[in-house]
C-alpha cells in the first residue's frame, strides 16, 4: 500500500514497487531497494533488542555511504529519532550534541570512529557504541562494555519490517544547525514536516522513478538529506561520490552514471566553474541543476545556467528549520529575475513582514517569514532560542528581504549581515554580488569591521580565479570596479586578497573566521 505518511515509508513503498531496482550507488557499487530495506529491518530489530525505545535519540557519525542509508531508515523504523552528526566535528563538538539531546546510542563508521572513541572509552558519554566494520577488527581499550560490530551482529535478525506504531507528528529527526553565534541548536523535525516538504520538492522538480541525482552534499546537512528523501520517495536513484576535492572525478561519475539532477551550494558551482573542466563535458541525461545553501551572486547564476544548459537551473531558498525548502525560482523566470529566490513552494506561505508579523508592501524591506506544515516545532531543549524564531505561528528566517510587483522575493541580506555605516545600513550580500561580477573573482566575502569614525565599515575578502596575477594594480582595479557600481558609503574600507576562504563541509563561507 502506497501511503508515505512517515519518512521510512519512502523506502518501504519504493521497495514494494521496485524491489530489484538500483537505488543507491557508491564506490562503484549499486545497491537495490530490497537490499537496503532488508538490512535496515535487521538493524531496526537489533536496535530494539539493544533497548532503543520509541522517541529515543540515536546519533550516527557516518560519511555518505550505504551504511548511512541503512542506519537512517533503521532508526526511523524502530520509532527512534535520527541525530545525524556532521562528520567534520571534533569529539568535543560531538559530546556537546550528544549531551544536548541525551543520546545513549551512537553508530559510527569504522573510518570515523577513532575520532570519537573517547566518548565511549573512557568518558562513557554514550552507553552503546555501534560500529560498521565488515572486517570485525575494531579495537577498544576495555571490552567490558556493550560494543556492537555491524554488519555481523545483525545477520541473525529478521528481515521483516518491525511493527512500531507512529503518527506523523512524532519526531523523526533532530538536525543540528550551526548557530550563527555560539553553540549549534537541534531543529526538531516531525515525520509530517519532512514528508510535507519532500512532497513539495518532488512536485516542483517533477521527479519521477527515472530520476537519478548526483550527490556530493553530505546527508547530515538538511539539503543533502532532502536529496535522499525525495528520490527514495519517488523510487528514483541516488548516486554518491565523496571525492569533490577532485571535481573532475565527480563529473566523470555524473556522466557515466547518467545523472538527471545535480545539487550544490554556491561554492560548489564556483569550484566547478573555476577549478574543473566542466565546460568540456557533455551531460546528455542531465535535466536540472539545483542551488541552495546561501545566496549565489547573479553573475555566478548566469554562468552556471550557461554551462549546464540545456539542463534547467533551479535557484532555491530554505532553512534547516523548514525541513529544507521554502521557495524556488522557476527556471523559465531566471532570465527576468536574476538574484530572486522566487516564490513559495507548494503548501508554504512566504512573505516579507514587519516585527509584528504583518505583511509589508511591494519594495518595503523587512524580515522574510514563513508558515507551513514543514516548519520545525522548535529547537530541542532550547525554549528561549525557539521563542526568537517561532512567533505567532510564523518562522522568522533572519533574512532581510523585499518583494517585487509580481510577487517575486529577493534576499537583501542576513539581519546579522547588515553593516551599520554611520547612520546608514549596507548589505554585505550586495557588495559581494558586485565583486562576483568582476571577471577575475572566484570567491568573495564581505564583513563589517570596527571603524573609529563610522562605527562600522565593510571589509572585502577576495579569492582570484586560477592564473590571475595578484598585484597591487589588480587590487586597485577591483577597488575602482566597486567605485563605479556602489554608493560611496558602501565601498570597502579595505580589500584583502586570499588564496581561499574558510568554509564548512557543506560549502558555506564561515564569516566568523574572517576579521
Q: What is the pLDDT of residues 315-334, one digit of tens each?
A: 999 999 999 999 999 999 99
Distance CA 496, CA 482 (A): 14
Work out whether strand 424-427 and strand 418-421 pair parallel, antiparallel, or are unpaired: antiparallel
CA distances from 320 to 110, 209, 225, 276, 376 (A): 28, 26, 10, 30, 9
Rounded mean pLDDT, 472-479: 92
CA distances from 225 to 169, 195, 206, 257, 386 (A): 19, 12, 18, 20, 23
Whether residue 418 is predicted with pLDDT greater than 90 in this model: the reply is no
Closest to 290 measured CA to CA, from 370, 400, 413, 202: 202
Work out whether strand 57-61 and strand 105-109 pair parallel, antiparallel, or are unpaired: parallel
Contact 247, 271 (CB under 8 A): yes
Cβ atoms within 10 Å, residue 111: 13
Q: What number of H helices and E strands is found in the chain?
A: 13, 27
Distance CA 22, CA 34 (A): 9
- In degrees, rounded to 5, the angle at the alpha carbon of residue 8 between the alpha carbons of residues 7 and 11 is 115
Cβ atoms within 10 Å, residue 203: 13
Alpha helices in 78-167 (DSSP H): 91-100, 110-116
Distance CA 298, CA 338 (A): 6
Residues constituting the chain = 515
Q: Is 450 exposed, middle or buried (0-12, 13-18, 19+ CB in 10 A)?
A: exposed
Distance CA 26, CA 29 (A): 5
Q: Grid coordinates in use for 336? A: 527576468
Q: Residue 413: its pLDDT value, please?
A: 80
Distance CA 175, CA 221 (A): 8
**What does the DSSP assignment read for 423-443?**
TEEEEHHHHHHHHHHSTTEEE
Cβ atoms within 10 Å, residue 138: 17
Band the pLDDT of 182: cuts 50, 70, 90.
low
Q: Grid coordinates in use for 144? A: 567490558
Closest to 370 measured CA to CA, from 328, 422, 327, 417: 327
Using one digit for the tens of pLDDT, what is the confidence trace for 131-179? 999 887 776 655 566 789 999 999 999 999 999 999 999 999 999 986 5
Cβ atoms within 10 Å, residue 425: 16
DSSP 503: B
Q: Residue 134: its pLDDT value, please?
A: 86
Domain ranges of the chain: 9-166, 193-414, 422-513
CATH code given to domain 9-166: 3.40.50.980
Whether residue 2 is predicted with pLDDT greater than 60 in this model: the reply is no
CATH H-level superfamily of 422-513: ANL, C-terminal domain (3.30.300.30)
Band the pLDDT of 417: cuts 50, 70, 90.
confident
Band the pLDDT of 180: cuts 50, 70, 90.
very low
Residue for cell digits 514494494? Answer: 16
Distance CA 69, CA 156 (A): 20
Average pLDDT score, the chain: 93
Q: Residue 149: its pLDDT value, please?
A: 92
Band the pLDDT of 437: cuts 50, 70, 90.
very high
> Higher confidence at residue 514 or residue 376?
376
Those residues whose C-beta lies under 8 Å from the C-beta of residue 406, and which sit 6 or more positions away, are none
Using one digit for the tens of pLDDT, what is the confidence trace for 289-319? 999 988 889 999 999 999 999 999 999 999 9
**What does the DSSP assignment read for 10-54?**
HHHHHHHH-TTSEEEEETTEEEEHHHHHHHHHHHHHHHHHTTPPT
Q: Is 189 exposed, middle or buried (0-12, 13-18, 19+ CB in 10 A)?
A: buried
- In degrees, rounded to 5, the angle at the alpha carbon of residue 99 between the alpha carbons of residues 96 and 104 is 130
Rounded mean pLDDT, 228-257: 98
Whether residue 489 is predicted with pLDDT greater than 70 in this model: the reply is yes
**Stated pTM of the model:** 0.88
Whether residue 25 is predicted with pLDDT greater than 80 in this model: the reply is yes
Rounded mean pLDDT, 395-417: 91
Rounded mean pLDDT, 345-349: 97
User: What phi, psi does 356 have (nearest 5°)?
Assistant: -85, -5
9-166 and 422-513 agree in CATH topology: no
Band the pLDDT of 425: cuts 50, 70, 90.
confident
Q: Grid coordinates in use for 120? A: 565511549
Contact 334, 305 (CB under 8 A): yes
Whether residue 440 is predicted with pLDDT greater than 70 in this model: the reply is yes
Contact 462, 496 (CB under 8 A): yes
CATH architecture of 193-414: 3-Layer(aba) Sandwich (3.40)
Distance CA 203, CA 314 (A): 13
Distance CA 135, CA 380 (A): 37
Q: Residue 178: its pLDDT value, please?
A: 67
Using one digit for the tens of pLDDT, what is the confidence trace for 192-212? 999 999 999 999 999 999 999
Q: Grid coordinates in use for 272? A: 566547478
User: To the nearest whole percent, how much of the chain has pLDDT over 90?
Assistant: 79
Those residues whose C-beta lies under 8 Å from the C-beta of residue 181, and which sit 6 or more positions away, are 416
Using one digit for the tens of pLDDT, what is the confidence trace for 360-398? 999 999 999 999 999 999 999 999 999 999 999 999 999
Q: Is 19 exposed, middle or buried (0-12, 13-18, 19+ CB in 10 A)?
A: middle
| Coil, helix or strand at residue 176 | strand
Distance CA 133, CA 271 (A): 33
Q: Residue 142: its pLDDT value, please?
A: 52
Band the pLDDT of 455: cuts 50, 70, 90.
confident
Amino acid at each position: 500500500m502506497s501511503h508515505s505518511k512517515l519518512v521510512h515509508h519512502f523506502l518501504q513503498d519504493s521497495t514494494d514497487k521496485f524491489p530489484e531496482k538500483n537505488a543507491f550507488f557508491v564506490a562503484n557499487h549499486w545497491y537495490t531497494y530490497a537490499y537496503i530495506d532488508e538490512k535496515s529491518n535487521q538493524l531496526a530489530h537489533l536496535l530494539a533488542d539493544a533497548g532503543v525505545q520509541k522517541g529515543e535519540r540515536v546519533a550516527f557519525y557516518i560519511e555518505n555511504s550505504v551504511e548511512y542509508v541503512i542506519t537512517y531508515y533503521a532508526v526511523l523504523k524502530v520509532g527512534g529519532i535520527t541525530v545525524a552528526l556532521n562528520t567534520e566535528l571534533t569529539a568535543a563538538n560531538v559530546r556537546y550534541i550528544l549531551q544536548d539531546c541525551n543520546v545513549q546510542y551512537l553508530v559510527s563508521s569504522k573510518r570515523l570512529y577513532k575520532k570519537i572513541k573517547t566518548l565511549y572509552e573512557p568518558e562513557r558519554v554514550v552507553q552503546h557504541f555501534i560500529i560498521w566494520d565488515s572486517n570485525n577488527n575494531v579495537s577498544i581499550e576495555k571490552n567490558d562494555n556493550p560494543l556492537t560490530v555491524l554488519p555481523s551482529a545483525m545477520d541473525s535478525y529478521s528481515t521483516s519490517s518491525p511493527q512500531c506504531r507512529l503518527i506523523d507528528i512524532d519526531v523523526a529527526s533532530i538536525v543540528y544547525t550551526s548557530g550563527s553565534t555560539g553553540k549549534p541548536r537541534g531543529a526538531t523535525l516531525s515525520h509530517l514536516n519532512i514528508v510535507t516538504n519532500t512532497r513539495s520538492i518532488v512536485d516542483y522538480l517533477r521527479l519521477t522513478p527515472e530520476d537519478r541525482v548526483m550527490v556530493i552534499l553530505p546527508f547530515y546537512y538538511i539539503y543533502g538529506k532532502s536529496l535522499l528523501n525525495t528520490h527514495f520517495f519517488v523510487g528514483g536513484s541516488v548516486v554518491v561520490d565523496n571525492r569533490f576535492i577532485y571535481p573532475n572525478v565527480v563529473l566523470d561519475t555524473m556522466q557515466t552514471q547518467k545523472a538527471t539532477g545535480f545539487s550544490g551550494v554556491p561554492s560548489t558551482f564556483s569550484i566547478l566553474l573555476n577549478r574543473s573542466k566542466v565546460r568540456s563535458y557533455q551531460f546528455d541525461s542531465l535535466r536540472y541543476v539545483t542551488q541552495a545553501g546561501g545566496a549565489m551572486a547573479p553573475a555566478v547564476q548566469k554562468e552556471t545556467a550557461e554551462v549546464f544548459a540545456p539542463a534547467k537551473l533551479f535557484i532555491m531558498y530554505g532553512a534547516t528549520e523548514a525541513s529544507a525548502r521554502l521557495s524556488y525560482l522557476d527556471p523559465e523566470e531566471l532570465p527576468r529575475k536574476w538574484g530572486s529566490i522566487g516564490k513559495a513552494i507548494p503548501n508554504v506561505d512566504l512573505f516579507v513582514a514587519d516585527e509584528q508579523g504583518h505583511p509589508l508592501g511591494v519594495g518595503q524591506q523587512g524580515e522574510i517569514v514563513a508558515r507551513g506544515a514543514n516548519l520545525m516545532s522548535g529547537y530541542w531543549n532550547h525554549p528561549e532560542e525557539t521563542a526568537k524564531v517561532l512567533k505567532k505561528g510564523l518562522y522568522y528566517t533572519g533574512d532581510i528581504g523585499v518583494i517585487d510587483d509580481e510577487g517575486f522575493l529577493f534576499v537583501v541580506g542576513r539581519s546579522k549581515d547588515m553593516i551599520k555605516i554611520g547612520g546608514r545600513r549596507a548589505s554585505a550580500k550586495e557588495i559581494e554580488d558586485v565583486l562576483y561580477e568582476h571577471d577575475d573573482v572566484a570567491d568573495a566575502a564581505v564583513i563589517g569591521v570596527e571603524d573609529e569614525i563610522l562605527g562600522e565599515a565593510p571589509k572585502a575578502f577576495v579569492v582570484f580565479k586560477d592564473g590571475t596575477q595578484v598585484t597591487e594594480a589588480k587590487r586597485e582595479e577591483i577597488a575602482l570596479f566597486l567605485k563605479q557600481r556602489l554608493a560611496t558609503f558602501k565601498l570597502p574600507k579595505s580589500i584583502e586578497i586570499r588564496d581561499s576562504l574558510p568554509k564548512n563541509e557543506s560549502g558555506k563561507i564561515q564569516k566568523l573566521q574572517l576579521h
